[in-house]
């Protein structure tokens, strides 16, 4: 038998990907195209020999999805063992986030504001004359798993409670979140973090007016952080804990707000300055009630997400119980594509459940129409956010 003759075809297929979104001002490597080389045999005894070889190389450029889904909620304090374990939920908190977990888990990135410390015991509690009236929050360590199980993979620690138990509280919280692979930032020692999820790189920074946190009032430093992140990542998410508190302060004033004698920032100026510097999504919280949303330069801003799951120690009357989940689809460079406000509402002592009356979305719709009448944004009663791109 003559030797089998093998034919080789050298294929080199170059697929040029079509990038739909405009690149950001800073040039970055294209994150959407991943290259893969596959080797396989092609044999044919009937074709004259061209060259002896036994493999064909094909390069395939795989187009990855050009959008990601990012969700954000407001304050999370799912039970405290200080001053008394009676402020802890039953069954180790396993069910406290379970009614909303199916929604939260659908996102690539799910954000919330961690309004307290994760620490089993000890630490140096903030000075309180009467511990029963002292609102300092120490969530036991097992609660990290409750956040994880509910889909949270990004938390802010820039708020007025992350220093409730001094340095021990900060160290414990940082270690436990790191072990659980939940990304976080907002301490003055760690104002931002960078992480990769899927094929994209994210930058996250968090700000507040409180000691030990990255300052919402130092806009120049905040801008520099965002500009630095913009040179390194695809999507920048910003958290702020700012503005006055309560249902008398639902509006975005576009001015500096003071509360309890503290400068709580000018959340409008802060948000716009950071979008100008390259931020893509801004999740605000702090007032314990919801505020307007806005889209500025194709970037999404929520001025307050209110409370989300704030157990036993919080006023949950009226609008304080509204617990929106902001559900966004953004491009791989962070531009707003579509969004929805999923309305949840806190029940009992602070258990969020999906709200068939859609109250969070309806209130955000009203506030957005009043505070940003000029905006090309429509919040439908269903919570769907429509935007006519400028
Ligand atoms: Zn707060």
What does DSSP assign to residue 159? S
Reported as a pLDDT band with limits 50, 70 and 90, residue 20 is very low
Q: Do 109 and 225 share a domain, yes or no?
A: yes
222 closest CA partner among 287, 257, 272, 262: 272
The whole-angstrom separation of Cα 142 and Cα 78 is: 11
Number of domains within the chain: 2
341 Cβ contact list (under 8 Å, min separation 6): 293, 324, 325, 326, 327, 360, 361, 364, 379, 383, 385
Indicate if 234 and 94 belong to the same structural domain.
yes
* pLDDT at 48 (0 to 100): 55
281 closest CA partner among 343, 327, 245: 327
The reply to whether 272 and 135 lie within a common domain is yes
Q: Are strands 117-118 and 138-139 parallel, antiparallel or unpaired?
A: parallel
Higher pLDDT: 256 or 60? It is 256
Ligand 1 centroid vs 166 CA: distance in angstroms?
A: 16
Q: Do 31 and 148 belong together in one domain?
A: no
Give me ligand 1 centre to Cα 187, in Å.
Answer: 14
Instruction: Count the helix, strand and coil residues of the chain and give each as a percent rounded to the nearest 5.
Output: 20, 30, 50
| Ion ligand 1 residue ranges (Cβ < 5 Å) | 159-160
Task: Report CA(214)–ligand 1 centroid distance (Å).
Answer: 14
Dump pLDDT digits (tens) for 290-330. Answer: 999 999 999 999 999 999 999 999 999 999 999 999 999 99
Query: Residue 385 CB: number of other CB atoms within 10 A?
Result: 24
| Residue where one domain finishes, among candidates 39, 64, 89 | 64
CA–centroid distance, 3 to ligand 1, in Å, is 80
Q: Comparing 53-62, 141-150, 346-355, 377-386, which segment has the lowest mean pLDDT?
A: 53-62
pLDDT in tens, 236-261: 999 999 999 999 999 999 999 999 99
What is the arithmetic mean of pLDDT over 204-216? 98
Q: Which two tokens stand for residue 44?
A: 């044919």
Q: Angle 36-38-40 (CA atoms, 0-180°, nearest 5)?
A: 175
Indicate whether 56 and 77 sit together in one domain.
no
Pairing of strands 109-114, 384-387: unpaired
In this structure, are 34 and 115 located in the same domain?
Answer: no
pLDDT at 130 over 90: no
Q: Which of 14, 29, 64 is at the close of a domain?
A: 64
pLDDT band at 65 (very low <50, low <70, confident <90, very high): confident
Average pLDDT (6-35) is 39
Element (H, E) at 371: helix 359-371
The secondary structure of residue 316, as a DSSP letter, is: -
Distances (CA, A) of 335 to 59, 147, 280: 30, 27, 7
Bond prior to 288 in cis (omega within 30° of 0): no
Q: Output the six-digit token pair for 195.
A: 């992480």
Judge if 99 and 233 occupy the same domain: yes
In degrees, rounded to 5, the angle at the alpha carbon of residue 216 between the alpha carbons of residues 215 and 219 is: 95
**158 Cα–ligand 1 center, Å:** 9
Please determine, for residue 87, whether its predicted confidence score (pLDDT) is greater than 60: yes
Q: Identify which has the larger pLDDT, 278 or 30.
A: 278
Give the pLDDT confidence score for residue 373 in this predicted structure: 92
Rounded distance, CA 281 to CA 323, Å? 19
Whole-number Å distance, alpha carbon 175 to ligand 1 midpoint, is 22
Return the pLDDT at 390: 57
HEC per residue, 13-77: CCCCCCCCCCCCCCCCCCCCEEEEEEEECCCCCCCCCCCCCCCEEEEEEEECCCEEEEEEEEEEE
Q: Do strands 307-310 and 299-302 pair parallel, antiparallel, or not at all (unpaired)?
A: unpaired
In this prediction, residue 59 carries a pLDDT of: 67
What CATH number did the domain enclosing 320 receive? Answer: 3.60.21.10
pLDDT of residue 56: 66
**52 and 146 housed in the same domain:** no
What's the CA-to-centroid distance between 153 and ligand 1, angstroms?
20
> Are residues 115 and 211 located together in one domain of the fold?
yes
Q: N- to C-terminal Cα distance for the chain? A: 73
Q: How many whole angstroms from 215 Cα to the centroid of ligand 1?
A: 14
Tell me the C-alpha distance between 291 and 303, whole Å. 5
Residues 72 and 53 reside in one and the same domain: no
Neighbours of 60 (CB within 10 A): 11
Q: What percent of the chain has pLDDT over 70?
A: 82
Which candidate, 123, 105, 112, places its Cα nearest to that of 77? 112
**Distance from C-alpha of 287 to C-alpha of 72, rounded to nearest angstrom:** 16
Out of 64, 80, 113, a domain closes at 64
Residue 235 near residue 286, CB atoms below 8 Å:
no
- What is the model's pLDDT at position 134? 76
pLDDT in tens, 141-165: 999 999 999 999 999 999 999 999 9
Domain encompassing residue 80: 67-387
- Higher confidence at residue 339 or residue 21? 339
Could you tell me if 205 and 263 lie in one domain? yes
Return d(Cα 74, Cα 111) in angstroms, integer: 8
Return mean pLDDT, the chain.
Answer: 88
In angstroms, what is the span from residue 160 Cα to ligand 1's centroid?
A: 5
d(CA 94, CA 114): 17
* Pair 326, 69: CB distance under 8 Å: no
CA 85 to each of CA 77, 140, 364: distance values in angstroms, whole numbers, following the listed order: 14, 10, 35
Query: Residue 375: which pLDDT band, with cuts at 50, 70 and 90?
Result: confident
d(CA 120, CA 81): 8
Q: How confident is the model at residue 47 (pLDDT cuts 50, 70, 90)?
A: low
Q: Which helix (H) or strand (E) holds 239?
A: strand 235-241
**Is 148 found in the same domain as 10?**
no
CB 54 within 8 A of CB 107: no
Indicate whether 49 pLDDT > 90: no
């Amino acid at each position: 038998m003559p030797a089998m003759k093998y034919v080789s075809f050298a294929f080199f297929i170059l697929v040029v990907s079509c990038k739909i979104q405009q690149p950001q001002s800073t040039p970055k490597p294209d994150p959407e195209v991943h290259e893969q080389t596959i080797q396989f045999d092609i044999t044919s005894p009937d074709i004259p020999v061209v060259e002896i070889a036994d493999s064909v190389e094909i390069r395939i450029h795989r187009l990855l999805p050009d959008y990601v889904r990012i969700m954000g909620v407001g304050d999370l304090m799912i039970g405290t063992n200080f001053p008394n374990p009676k402020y802890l939920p039953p069954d180790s908190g396993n069910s406290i986030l379970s009614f909303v977990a199916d929604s939260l888990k659908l996102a690539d990135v799910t954000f919330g504001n961690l309004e307290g410390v994760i620490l089993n015991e000890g630490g140096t509690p903030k000075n309180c004359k009467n511990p029963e009236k002292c609102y300092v929050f120490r969530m036991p360590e097992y609660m990290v798993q409750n956040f994880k199980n509910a889909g949270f993979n990004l938390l802010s620690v820039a708020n007025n409670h992350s220093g409730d138990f001094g340095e021990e509280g900060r160290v414990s919280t940082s270690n436990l979140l790191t072990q659980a692979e939940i990304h976080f930032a907002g301490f003055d020692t760690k104002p931002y973090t960078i992480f990769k999820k899927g094929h994209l790189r994210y930058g996250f920074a968090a700000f507040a007016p409180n000691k030990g946190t990255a300052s919402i009032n130092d806009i120049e430093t905040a801008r520099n952080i965002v500009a630095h992140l913009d040179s390194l990542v695809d999507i920048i998410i910003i958290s702020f804990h700012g503005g006055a508190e309560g249902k008398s302060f639902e509006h975005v004033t576009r001015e500096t707000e003071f509360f309890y004698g503290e400068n709580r920032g000018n959340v409008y100026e802060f948000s716009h300055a950071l979008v100008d510097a390259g931020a893509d999504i801004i999740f605000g919280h702090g007032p314990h009630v919801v505020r307007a949303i806005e889209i500025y330069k194709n970037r999404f801003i929520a001025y307050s997400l209110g409370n989300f799951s704030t157990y036993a120690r919080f006023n949950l009357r009226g609008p304080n119980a509204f617990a929106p989940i902001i559900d966004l689809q953004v491009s791989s460079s962070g531009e707003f594509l579509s969004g929805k406000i999923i309305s949840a509402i806190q029940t009992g002592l602070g258990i969020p459940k999906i709200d068939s009356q859609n109250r969070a979305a309806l209130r955000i719709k009203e506030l957005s129409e009043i505070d940003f009448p000029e905006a090309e944004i429509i919040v439908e009663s269903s919570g769907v956010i429509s935007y006519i791109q400028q």
